[in-house]
A and B are shown apart, each in its own frame.
Chain A
Amino acid sequence: MNKFARFISITLTNGCYVLGGLVLFKVILGGSSISKKELISLILVSILCGALQTLCFSGLIIKKLAYCWRTAIFGVVLLAVLSVIAVSFGWFPANQLGAWATFAAAFLATLLVVTAIFQLYYRHRSKKYNEQLDQYHTKQNGAE
């Protein structure tokens, strides 16, 4: 599969996960129905978020960059993208500073929680791999 096809494939997969999460979030917030306009905005967010995730975290485009910088770039660009979509689709009153502050705080909190979850996951996997590696070396040394 060439790079472009892989980019699209990973973006669509990530986009589907994001869309599923957003719809679930909407349901949890008490939404019993979703308007066409809301659905279009969620699909747009999912695709753009998926593309940004692929760009920043897949290693396909940005090959050598520390994880913290990838997260920072992702966060800043995603916040800008979400701000444009929020204004375009009227998610909240754009002329109210309080609404913007709540939006930014919610975004930052979500980003921090998701980043923390991924960090914990990577540390857990690292620990497991290294335990298995130690066992492997012990077995090899015992065999010699």
Chain B
Amino acid sequence: MRKDKLLNIFTHPLFQLFSFSALIFPGQLFDLPYLLILRWTIADLTFFAISGILGLLLTFLSILIYRKILQWIALLIMWLSLMAFVWQLTPTIKAAIIENPISLLTCFQFLLISLLIVYKKYYGRTA
């Protein structure tokens, strides 16, 4: 019962929203949260920015109208955004991600949340 409760907390769309927004990536001057990167690049209509914002909106929508499928789709779109973002990074920044413990921690956190959401869908009991 307690395990289910914890699972529900960590797989809640709010948690998904927060962990995605709070992903930290190294920058030229200072580390940057992913939400800020999306904000700074949305005007350029880059794929990762559009998909990132879309993922956030769908996750928020899944809270409002309580549709798990929306959370799922949002999660997939978020991963697409992340992959597109990391793909276009310079080798220096990619290397810096590996060397930055905060970056690694936030990336691991989001990965864990994603895996828990998948786990809950296929193996968890409905709350």
Bound pair: A and B? no
